[in-house]
Amino acid sequence: MEQLKLIARIADQQIAISADLVESVVEIEAITPVPLAAAHIAGLAALRSRVLTIIDTYAALELGRSPRDGQLQAIVVTIDHHLYGLLVDEVVDVAAFAGEPEPLHAGLSRGWAHAAMGIVEHEGQALLQLDPARIVAGPMAVAA
Amino acid sequence: MDELLGEFIAETRETLEPLASEIVAWEIAPDDRAKLDSIFRFVHTVKGSCGFLDLPRLERLSHAAEGALAEVREGARRPDKRLVTGVLLIIDRIGELVEALAAGLPYPEGDDETLILALEPRDDKEEEAVPAAAAAALPAATPRAPARSIRLPVELLDRMMAGVSDMVLARNELSRRLRERAGDGNVDTAFERLSTCVAEMREAITRTRMQRIDGLFSALPRMVRDLSTELDKQVVLVIDGGDVELDREMIEMIRDPLTHIVRNAIDHGIEIPADRQRSAKPAAGTLRVDARQSGNQILIEVADDGRGIDDERLVQKAIGAAIVTRERAAAMTRAERLELIFAAGLSTADQVTAISGRGVGMDVVRANVERIGGTVEIDTQLGRGCRLTLRVPMTLTIIPALTFSVGTELFAIPRGAIDEIVRASGGSVVVERVGCALVARIRGERVPVVELDKLLGVPSHVDPARQILVVVRASSGERYALSVDSVQDHEELVVKPAAPAIMATGVYAGTTLPDNGRPMLLINPAGVAQIAGVKAPDAAIPAKSDVVAVEVETVPTLLFRACDGATRAIRLGLVERIEDVASGAVANIGGRLRLSHDGRILPLFGCEAVVPDKYDRVRVLLLGDGETEIAYAIGEVIDIHALSPDCLPSAEPGPIAGVMLVDDLQVELVDCFWLFAQAGGSSRSTERPLCLLDSDDPWMRDVLRPIVEQAGYRVGYSGDANDPDAAVMILSADRPSADARSSAPVIRLRSVADESVGPAGSIYRYDRRGLIAALAAAQGGR
């Protein structure tokens, strides 16, 4: 069964996210910070009349902090009736993938391991497929 | 009722349409159970609704069909052609009647009996006749009124609402862009038109969410009837303001609180008829339920003329349930006492009844109402009744808010939580650092300051002295001042819940998108209080606290330098005058200083010995409690302050009640109660010293006596008894000496002012001061 997946780049890694879950890809201009919130909550941004909670994917994957310069791209997903924007370095492509993600048994850092659903292959290149819900939950969930 | 009827008509029409095909299918296959069931459900529903809406004709018809179909379902009867036809005819008739109802026309004529009888099982012989007759009775074509209402899923309405919000934002964006470039008249006019349309649209869509509060009130008559029957009470229900409109979600939210309040009113408020007549009230109690709009709030009042709430008993119960301490209860105002009704775990009923004793207390009512941004107030008069007022916002989502900035960030806070806004460096405001916490004194009242910049880690751009304090009262009772950089605006904001990770911080109530299109966070006052560690002193009484008491109960207090140089304070209310008296008017009498002043002898407190100033005068405060007067010697008056009634009490009763902090100085508060007790104890009549007057001298008896008594003596007469206990004796200068038995000092009064004329030491009899001084001195001599 073929499945559409969105391919994006985060910290020089190409990752895939199931396109079913993605509402849109938006350019983020201004982010309203949310003081006291967890590190992976970058802040709030407006998507027309709706408020997006922007997720710092670098922080969620325990890779530091997402770059915040210039135009930012975010993948918009809805999780539990809340709208989130996952910051990515670049959205690369949307492609059809065959087959389910395969488990990957070793070698991932804790942050990646937490968010990864497995390995998918695209044009001979192995990509990590990430679960947006786990990115949104952030690194705290690992500790819990 | 109209609304319910409209709903019934819409619903019946809606089911009738698909049912038409079912009926045809059933006619072909009368044994099809699924078809039978759906037809049965239809008539059953109609029957139920008709009973409720008081439509007897429809009810009879549907009842007959239901009965016949039930028999079929039970297998007691076979669905023969006659039965099927009969049911179909009845369903048709129901359709006709409903259309007539919808169009507001009189019911179409037609013999329902025939139709009903047609359902009765009969011999096959008559099979054809009856249905045919019934069919003939049907009017050929009832004009179908066009449907005036449709049913929409709420979700669709929400989507429309979101669409309109998008439109408003787009309009605002456009407005900004248009302002940036030079105005083109035509474009501006077109834009104005667009703006008007958008605004109208927004209002219309908002209205789709509104519902008449009727829907909420319509259940009340039945409930009141049932309850009053059950409790053997007579209640007249008066409902007013059913046409007030409210967000439909809001209506659902206040359904339970309102029901509970009405139950309470009947169960606990209104008395049984016998009791009412005994208290000269009409046997039937009146329960008034009233809704009205006030600004963007809806007020719902539930008032009964029952027995009211005994706040005394309430307090006793609260003490019994350990909700308040006895000390706290004693200090509570009546309003605070009544607030106890909202405290958890408190019921005024002696017995838990089936009606209202269901574990849902007024605390739950208040919590539910507050959750939707409303308030509950109570007002009661013992024996006269009780009134509860619910105030709820018209919509759930739009709240009035104040926006303010901290550093570069903007935040909003619900306006309802704000008490006042003051400048940190304003005239009546002093901000002090106590330990590591900031405390603001605003007109004498101390309020903890929460530094929002530090709390949120957002660097402030403003010098602390130039910050603005937003005094906030959280729903949980805490009162504190938020320090912010600047206040921006009052706005009506559409607030949405924030993502769980944001709500988890506890300091936010939601997010909002103001017209500038940049998301903003709404501060949750209670959450900030919790994180900042501001506590409500008495959690059991949510709306009131000791901090609040400080605000309302400042007492004007006089600060003065005492004779020993210490700074002391005294409640201004007791100070009648401040006077300078000659030091000679003070004498040490009976181990206590006394002041003779204006014809009276007053106990003098405040010093061990008089320290006169260079003019040989002493400054005294004259204190009075209405009965007793005392004097208090002081060095000088410093100032008058409005201070908290509280002070740190001293360990033992004495002239000092305790210590209080005034401008960082420890100040002793004079215990006037103790002073008056001391003074009162020594001035009781039996303990008053005796002054003997010359009984033969009518001037003394009639003129002098009141003065002597005023000076603190009781009066006896030398003529009838030479009381050996006499403290002093007053004689005319020309009278011979009193007999030797009395050792009392003698004051001699002369009738001429010239001192050289009378004997040495005598006093002119109209020299009141001299006389009083002599009386005081005489007492000291004992």
| Closest residue by Cα to residue B13 from B81, B101, B82, B85 | B101
Alpha helices in B265-410 (DSSP H): 273-278, 311-320, 326-330, 334-339, 362-371
Mean pLDDT, chain A, whole residue set: 87
Q: B656: domain range?
A: 554-682
Give the total number of structural domains in chain A.
Answer: 1
For residues B11 and B59, state if they share a domain. Answer: yes
With the CA atoms of B196, B202, B205 and B209 taken in that order, what torsion angle do they form, in degrees rounded to the nearest 10?
A: -140
Q: Which residues have a Cβ under 8 Å from the Cβ of B688 and sit 6 or more positions away?
A: B712, B713, B714
In this complex, do A53 and B169 lie within 8 Å of one another by their Cβ atoms?
Answer: no
Q: Binning pLDDT at 50, 70 and 90, where does residue A77 land? A: very high
In this complex, do A41 and B501 lie within 8 Å of one another by their Cβ atoms?
Answer: yes
Q: Tell whether B692 is covered by a domain.
A: yes
Q: Rounded CA gap, B207 and B194, in Å?
A: 20
HEC profile of A67-79: CCCCCEEEEEEEE
In this complex, do A50 and B498 lie within 8 Å of one another by their Cβ atoms?
Answer: no
In this complex, do A36 and B498 lie within 8 Å of one another by their Cβ atoms?
Answer: no
Q: Tell whether B314 is covered by a domain.
A: no
Q: Can you tell me which residue has the tokens 């993600």?
A: A101
For residues B385 and B251, state if they share a domain. Answer: yes
CATH of residue B520's domain is 2.40.50.180
| Closest residue by Cα to residue B419 from B447, B396, B450 | B447
Each residue's pLDDT tens digit, B514-561 = 877 789 999 888 788 888 887 655 433 333 333 333 334 567 788 888
In this complex, do A49 and B499 lie within 8 Å of one another by their Cβ atoms?
Answer: no
Distance between A84 CA and the closest CA of chain B, angstroms: 8
In this complex, do A34 and B508 lie within 8 Å of one another by their Cβ atoms?
Answer: yes
In this complex, do B409 and A32 lie within 8 Å of one another by their Cβ atoms?
Answer: yes
Chain A residues whose beta carbon lies within 8 Å of the beta carbon of residue B511:
44, 51
ipTM of the complex: 0.89
* Cβ neighbours of B541 (radius 10 Å): 23
In this complex, do A32 and B508 lie within 8 Å of one another by their Cβ atoms?
Answer: no
In this structure, what token pair is assigned to residue A14? 């190409």
Each residue's pLDDT tens digit, B163-177 = 887 788 788 778 878
Q: A48: domain range?
A: 2-143
Q: Residue B49 — φ and ψ, nearest 5°?
A: -65, -40
CATH of residue A124's domain is 2.40.50.180
HEC profile of B489-506: EEEEEEEECCCHHHHCCC
For residues B35 and B121, state if they share a domain. Answer: yes
Q: Binning pLDDT at 50, 70 and 90, where does residue B341 land? A: confident
Q: Tell whether B317 is covered by a domain.
A: no
* Cβ neighbours of B224 (radius 10 Å): 22
Give the total number of structural domains in chain B.
Answer: 6
For residues B430 and B353, state if they share a domain. Answer: no
Q: Tell whether B146 is covered by a domain.
A: no
Chain B residues whose beta carbon lies within 8 Å of the beta carbon of residue A134:
none
In this complex, do B409 and A35 lie within 8 Å of one another by their Cβ atoms?
Answer: yes
- What distances in angstroms separate CA A30 from CA A27, A41, A47, A59, B444, one per listed residue? 10, 14, 11, 19, 44
Q: Tell whether B324 is covered by a domain.
A: no
| Contact yes or no for A9/A92 (Cβ under 8 A) | yes
In this complex, do B519 and A33 lie within 8 Å of one another by their Cβ atoms?
Answer: no
Chain A residues whose beta carbon lies within 8 Å of the beta carbon of residue B172:
none
Pick the last residue of a domain from B515, B532, B547: B547
**DSSP letter, residue A32:** B
In this complex, do B518 and A32 lie within 8 Å of one another by their Cβ atoms?
Answer: yes
For residues B383 and B260, state if they share a domain. Answer: yes
The region of weakest confidence among A28-32, A125-129, B86-90, B661-665 is B661-665
Q: Residue A22 — φ and ψ, nearest 5°?
A: -90, 125
User: Could you tell me which chain B residue has the CA closest to the CA of A30?
Assistant: B518
Q: Number of A:B CB contacts under 8 A? A: 76
**Per CB distance under 8 Å, which residues of A are interface residues toward B?**
30, 32-38, 40-41, 44-46, 48-53, 80, 82, 84, 136, 138
Chain B residues whose beta carbon lies within 8 Å of the beta carbon of residue A84:
499
Q: Which residues have a Cβ under 8 Å from the Cβ of B210 and sit 6 or more positions away?
A: B245, B246, B247, B248, B394
In this predicted model, which residue has the larger pLDDT, B206 or B221?
Answer: B221
Q: Tell whether B486 is covered by a domain.
A: yes
**Per CB distance under 8 Å, which residues of B are interface residues toward A?**
162, 165-166, 168-170, 409-410, 455-458, 496-502, 504-505, 507-508, 511-513, 517-521, 531
In this predicted model, which residue has the larger pLDDT, B710 or B11?
Answer: B11
For residues B543 and B655, state if they share a domain. Answer: no
In this structure, what token pair is assigned to residue B661? 């902090």
In this structure, what token pair is assigned to residue A5? 């997946």
Each residue's pLDDT tens digit, B114-147 = 778 777 776 544 444 444 444 444 444 445 566 6
Chain A residues whose beta carbon lies within 8 Å of the beta carbon of residue B508:
34
CATH of residue B290's domain is 3.30.565.10
In this predicted model, which residue has the larger pLDDT, B32 or B554?
Answer: B32
Highest mean pLDDT among B89-93, B283-287, B718-722: B283-287
For residues B382 and B446, state if they share a domain. Answer: no
In this structure, what token pair is assigned to residue B267? 């169960």
Q: Tell whether B243 is covered by a domain.
A: yes
CA of residue B145 relative to chain centroid, distance:
50
Distance between B523 CA and the closest CA of chain A, angstroms: 11
